[in-house]
């Protein structure tokens, strides 16, 4: 049996690489790069005899390195796990969270782009986000979600 077949056999019934694993892998990589950076800074400050700063970066190095290794272990655990149903549920939750985060980020970007033409505020009753054109003075707003009526300045 060649290596490829053996690998295929080995991976059968296991979770394999999914979106959450890729995410963990990148996060782990980021932490390890951070750890290298912190070591570099620690040595740099030590050479300048700034021992406190050097110690701080040494601690940061250990934290970043530790988290990086933990994430890598998690990655291995997820890829080779045989509890596929549970791993898939985790992956679905991860995708959902990412989607929510992307939507939030898009909304923040849009709000920043519109900041001169639109005022953004929340309904005082249900917290629904509402926008209105700026420079219209005091306006009466009816919430699109709960129909609450309130006055606001634009
Ligand atoms: Zn409302």
**Interval between CA 29 and ligand 1 midpoint (Å):** 43
* Secondary structure class of 126 (helix, strand, coil): coil
Give CA–CA dist 89/71, Å, rounded: 19
For the stretch 6-39, pLDDT in tens is: 999 999 999 999 999 999 999 999 999 999 999 9
**Interval between CA 122 and ligand 1 midpoint (Å):** 8
How far is Cα of residue 57 from the mean position of the Cα atoms in its chain?
Answer: 24
**Interval between CA 150 and ligand 1 midpoint (Å):** 10
**Interval between CA 147 and ligand 1 midpoint (Å):** 6
What is the model's pLDDT at position 62? 97
Which two tokens mark 13? 């019934």
Q: How far separated are the first and last CA of the chain, in Å rounded?
A: 73
What is the model's pLDDT at position 70? 98
pTM given for the model: 0.76
**Interval between CA 96 and ligand 1 midpoint (Å):** 25
Q: Which residues contact residue 97 at a Cβ distance below 8 angstroms, ignoring those fewer than 6 apart?
A: none
**Interval between CA 136 and ligand 1 midpoint (Å):** 21
Longest dimension (CA), the chain: 78
What is the model's pLDDT at position 152? 93
Residue where the block lists tokens 């709000």: 111
**Interval between CA 99 and ligand 1 midpoint (Å):** 24
State which residues have CB under 5 angstroms from ligand 1, the bound ion: 123, 125-126, 128, 143, 145-146, 148
pLDDT at position 1 over 80: no
For the stretch 36-54, pLDDT in tens is: 999 999 999 999 999 999 9
What is the model's pLDDT at position 52? 94
For the stretch 69-118, pLDDT in tens is: 999 999 999 999 999 999 999 999 999 999 999 999 999 999 999 999 99
């Amino acid at each position: 049996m060649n290596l490829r077949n053996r690998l295929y056999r080995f991976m059968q019934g296991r979770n394999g690489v999914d979106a959450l694993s890729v995410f963990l892998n990148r996060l782990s990589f980021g932490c390890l790069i951070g750890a290298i950076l912190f070591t570099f800074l620690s040595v740099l400050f030590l050479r300048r005899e700034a021992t406190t700063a050097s110690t701080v970066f040494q601690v940061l190095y250990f934290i970043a390195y530790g988290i990086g290794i933990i994430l890598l272990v998690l990655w291995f655990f997820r890829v080779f796990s045989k509890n596929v149903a549970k791993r898939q549920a985790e992956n679905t939750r991860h995708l959902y969270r990412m989607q929510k985060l992307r939507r939030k980020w898009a909304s923040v970007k849009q709000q920043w782009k519109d900041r001169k033409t639109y005022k953004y505020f929340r309904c005082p009753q249900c917290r629904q986000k509402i926008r209105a054109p700026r420079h219209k003075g005091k306006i009466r707003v009816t919430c699109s979600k709960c129909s609450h009526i309130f006055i606001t300045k634009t």
